[in-house]
Amino acid sequence: MKNRLLSLLWAAAFSVLALSASAQPVTVVDALGRSVTLEKPATRVVLAQARHLPVLALLHPDPVSILAGWSDEFRTSFSNEYQNYLQRFPDIANVPTVARHTADSFSVEQALAQRPDLVVLTASFAGISKGQPPEDSVLLRHFSAAGVPVIIIDFFVDPLQNTVPSLRALGSAIGQDERTESFIDLYQSHMQRVADRLADLDAEDRPPVLLHAHAGSTDCCNSPGTGTFNDMISYAGGHNIGSDVLKTVTGRLNFEYIYSSNPMVYVATGTGAGKRANAGLRIGTDVSPEEAQNSLERIIAANRLSSLPAMKAGNAHGIWHAFNDSPLHVVFIEALASWIHPERFQDVSAADTLNEINERFLTVPLKGTYMVDIQDN
């Protein structure tokens, strides 16, 4: 009896210590280098952009349990993924909406009404331009006046630099340091492997790449100029043909320019969701390999791209656009590297990397077809 009582007392003491530790203040440094202190790990998080719910699902075993409010874009623009989360976490249907998916639709009043202990924003959503002081943000000033901590994350504007600090800040803020560091280790090791194998590339070793963004759902051919996708193509050892003529993040390339550039690699992106999903690349959640392949071939034919060198060489591919604005761009980059330099990446499989992330981290695994190659003729 005495031993049992001692055991219960020890168990109670450890429980108190654990609760006390979890209630300790947490200080993190976000993607803008801001030091942000929370009274304790956050349990009521407002996501200004709901597209970042899968990031929470990488870092937290029950992301919906800490979700106090969000925008509506996960339900609308990522409807296939939303249904999978709804099946796993029915309570997601009751999460209050505090915005659509634009900054001008965001309601500070509705966000504060959810009693958040953390608000997660991006710099652009907060209205902070590159080099601009964070204090200029009206949103940040509102939440600061209300005593609500805000962290800025970035997986889009400069993801190659900001992904790790964004993950580390978010993971610490929600009390998931260990799980977060494990994912960061995977991310960094895979990114470093790509960098190491391409370290000796000269400019002439970078084949021209046509990245056809939102293929089929927009006029041909929407392509990246500067920014995220251009940086990823460069990191993967290619040369983005759009960067030579487009001085904006995205723009349209005409047929004459595309054919004169002789792209040796063609990559179409799509999500399989949205108003023009049937016209675009069918890829992503709940899409079969046959559906993805057929839609890729249809898009190439419909956009009169069949005579490009990439098509003749069988080096044409499709990939899920939503790897963008996510730490899962590591999968995107590995896929690009293996398509651009197959001789250097024969033992690397982006699909295997995604499978590992599904098994080890994603609370709601991605199930479907996320990469596809053109059929050999």
Would the pLDDT of 359 be above 80? yes
Q: Report how far residue 219's alpha carbon sits from residue 209's, in angstroms, rounded to the nearest whole number.
A: 19
Closest alpha carbon to 55 in 363, 373, 372: 363
Q: Report how far residue 230's alpha carbon sits from residue 233's, in angstroms, rounded to the nearest whole number.
A: 5
Q: What are phi and psi of 195, to 5 degrees?
A: -60, -40
Residue 2 counted as domain residue: no
The verdict on 233 and 354 lying in the same domain is yes
Residue 13 counted as domain residue: no
Its domain, for residue 236, covers 203-373
Mean pLDDT over 136-159 rounds to 95
The verdict on 116 and 219 lying in the same domain is no
Would the pLDDT of 7 be above 50? no
Confirm if 152 and 34 have CB atoms less than 8 A apart: yes
Residue 142 counted as domain residue: yes
The verdict on 145 and 263 lying in the same domain is no
Would the pLDDT of 274 be above 60? no
Q: How many domains is the chain partitioned into structurally?
A: 2
The verdict on 140 and 255 lying in the same domain is no
The amino acid present at 142, given as its one-letter code, is H
The verdict on 92 and 214 lying in the same domain is no
Q: Among the listed ranges 14-28, 44-58, 101-115, which one has the minimum average pLDDT value? A: 14-28
> For strand 284-285 and strand 368-369, is the pairing parallel, antiparallel, or unpaired?
antiparallel
The verdict on 233 and 333 lying in the same domain is yes
Residue 11's pLDDT is 41
Mean pLDDT over 100-129 rounds to 93
The verdict on 49 and 150 lying in the same domain is yes
Residue 277's pLDDT is 54
CATH number at residue 164: 3.40.50.1980
Residue 4 counted as domain residue: no
